[in-house]
Amino acid sequence: MGIGATAGVAAIGGVALTANASSDSGSSSSSSSDSLVFDPDAYTKLTTTVTDTNDKDHTVVYHFWKAITYVAEPVDATYQSLVVSVPVEIDGKAVDASDAPILLANSVGGYMPSSVATATGVGAGGMSGGGAAPSGAPTGGAAPSASASTASNANGNTNATGGATAGNQLLALAAGYVVIEPGARGRTLKNSDGEYYGTAPAAIVDLKAAVRYIRSNKGRIPGDVERIVSAGTSAGGALSSLLGASGDSPAYDKYLKEIGAADASDAIFATGAWCPITDLEHADGAYEWNWGGNDLSTGKLVDQTVSKALQAQFAEYQAGLKLRGLGGFGPLNARNLDTYLVKQYLEPSATTYLAALSDSARATYLKANTFITWSGGKATFTWADFLTHVGARKKDAPAFDAFDLSAGENNEFGAGTTLARHFTAYGAKNDSTGLTTKRVASDIPAKLDLMNPMHHLVGKANPNRSKHWWIRLGTKDSDTSLTVAANLAARLGDLGDDVNHLYYWDEGHGANTDPGDFITWIAQVTNHRGPKNK
């Protein structure tokens, strides 16, 4: 089992990194971009101290491989590279990680570029930063949307873009797992000709190529390549979900061939997704269904004509999904989703939170939040009162396909030298930028399919998808709709997959309050009995 498992809410303690030890093999830089053969001897030997969720320190000696380009024909090796960390000694005992699970942890936020090119140790890679990328950022619109906002991401630490934090990775390393961190192209990357080369579907193609590289090096890269567990937050959570849902889908083959991906499977074993910003073509309607009546931070409501129109679109979409709720709830539709969310997620989340408090702290919280009825050790409340409790919504309407093309997601569907494009018929029809045509470009529908895990799950589900899912979301996360993760989990449940899904009470975007439990969950679903002592 992994270390640091907790029954309730836990926080990662301080983490110290020491990375000055010499390499067993004299150290080596990244492999040549024209070679997809992993060099087992090209590592540096490092030491780190990991504080687990019980505030206990662990000394971990590990082998670290600097940035390795994972495709033969990289568009930009700065982003199309990965780093590998393999524990060899934990708390003074030599360990063998040759058959350990592999945590594939991406640091993508806001569909921005993510690089490990200069990483010097586990958890040290991350975002290229803000709204700019080294290769040139867009000007004008397409600012990083709220999905790239300051947040405590899936690794349990706070980062301005949801990027270079290290909690999950470090806990995994201390549990004896192999940790691989891939970079990926992102939406702001622009070449000298002014062409955007990191927009959809570049990020998911890159992550698939990274998986193929790992699998093609079975026996060379330490760890069990049949037990790859993906992890990501926000847009990275969406990509993690997509990676799990779309394993070995032929829809990506031409893109993978273009960049010289290894000839291997890109299916993964299990998926970890925190606040996935996904199902983008229906995200505007879902957002208005959830937050349409909540004021903006300015105290004003969004345009209710727009909000109501989007809500109607969502109701039609939700009915078409023909989902059944978890726990035997029955068919889900726009009329009963609020009841489902309250009973399946929100009340249990509040109950867990309140039960973990001391009697005095609980009394204080309940006095300040009188909408909650606390009886028999359980919390109950209405959907309307919950929405009032959350307060201001984070995004205007539409939240994702902005009429003025200002959302980060508009930039994600940019192409060529075009900074940002509409990707919904409603957004295009109501464009406010003066476009001569108010229709979605012909290539958009196929790209939406490539970027949406639901496309691979609804209807004839992809048989090579991940069968184990860990999904988390904060109850106060108005970066997206609470329905997005709930629909994903419901569909996976309908398919018979193993779904571990809960919401964190009163937490915002990117929260991860049970990282130790995630590490233990990996051990459970992979049937890993802990690190082998040499």
Write out the DSSP string of 73-138: S-S-TTTSEEEEEEEEEETTEEEE-TTS-EEEE----TT--EE-TT--STT--EE--TT--TT---
Q: Which of 25, 113, 31, 107 has its CA nearest to residue 75?
A: 113
Output the six-digit token pair for 373. Answer: 């009825």
- Name, in order, each residue with C-beta under 8 angstroms of 3's C-beta and a sequence gap of 6 or more: 52, 56, 58, 171, 174, 175, 516, 519
What is the per-residue pLDDT across 306-353, written as a single tens digit (0 to 9) for each? 999 999 999 999 999 999 999 999 999 999 999 999 999 999 999 999
Contact assessment for residue 142 and residue 410, using Cβ atoms and an 8 Å cutoff = yes
Give the confidence band of 161 by pLDDT, cuts at 50, 70, 90: very low
- Name, in order, each residue with C-beta under 8 angstroms of 310's C-beta and a sequence gap of 6 or more: 284, 285, 287, 288, 289, 292, 397, 398, 426
By mean pLDDT, which of 8-22, 254-268, 370-384, 459-473 is the weakest? Answer: 8-22
Q: Above 70 in pLDDT, residue 478? A: yes
What is the per-residue pLDDT across 394-408, written as a single tens digit (0 to 9) for each? 999 999 999 999 999
Phi, psi of 163 (to 5 degrees): -105, -100
Contact assessment for residue 521 and residue 507, using Cβ atoms and an 8 Å cutoff = no
Average pLDDT over residues 284-288: 98
Whole-prediction pTM value? 0.89
- Name, in order, each residue with C-beta under 8 angstroms of 328's C-beta and a sequence gap of 6 or more: none
Contact assessment for residue 440 and residue 411, using Cβ atoms and an 8 Å cutoff = no
Q: Could you give the residue ranges of the DSSP H alpha helices within 217-252?
A: 235-245
Residue 175: what pLDDT? 96
Mean pLDDT of the chain: 88
Give the confidence band of 166 by pLDDT, cuts at 50, 70, 90: low
Backbone angle region of 5, left / alpha / beta, with phi > 0 → left and psi within -120 to 50 → alpha? beta
Q: Above 70 in pLDDT, residue 456? A: yes
Give, rounded to a whole angstrom, the gap between the first and last alpha carbons of the chain.
18
Average pLDDT over residues 351-357: 98
Contact assessment for residue 337 and residue 289, using Cβ atoms and an 8 Å cutoff = yes
Q: Which of 505, 509, 512 has its CA nearest to residue 372?
A: 505
Q: Above 80 in pLDDT, residue 266? A: yes
* CATH class entry, domain 16-281+454-472+503-533: alpha beta
User: Cis (ω within 30 of 0) for the bond into 74?
Assistant: no
Q: Above 70 in pLDDT, residue 435? A: yes
Q: Above 60 in pLDDT, residue 373? A: yes
Q: Above 60 in pLDDT, residue 128? A: no
Cα distance between residue 278 and residue 268, in whole Å: 19
Q: Above 50 in pLDDT, residue 8? A: no
User: Cα 373 vs. chain centroid, distance in angstroms?
Assistant: 33
Q: C-alpha distances in angstroms, 407 versus 17, 139, 141, 444, 524?
A: 37, 13, 7, 16, 39
The dihedral of CA 160, 427, 456, 459: what is its sign? Answer: positive
Q: What is the DSSP string of 26-79?
A: S---PPPTT-----TT--EEEEEEEE-TTS-EEEEEEEEEEEEE-SSS-S-TTT
Residue 152: what pLDDT? 32
Give the confidence band of 125 by pLDDT, cuts at 50, 70, 90: low
Contact assessment for residue 50 and residue 519, using Cβ atoms and an 8 Å cutoff = no
Q: Which of 203, 163, 253, 243 has its CA nearest to residue 75?
A: 203
Residue 42: what pLDDT? 97
What length is written for the chain?
534
Residue 30: what pLDDT? 38
Q: C-alpha distances in angstroms, 497 versus 130, 466, 516?
A: 36, 8, 22
Average pLDDT over residues 512-533: 93
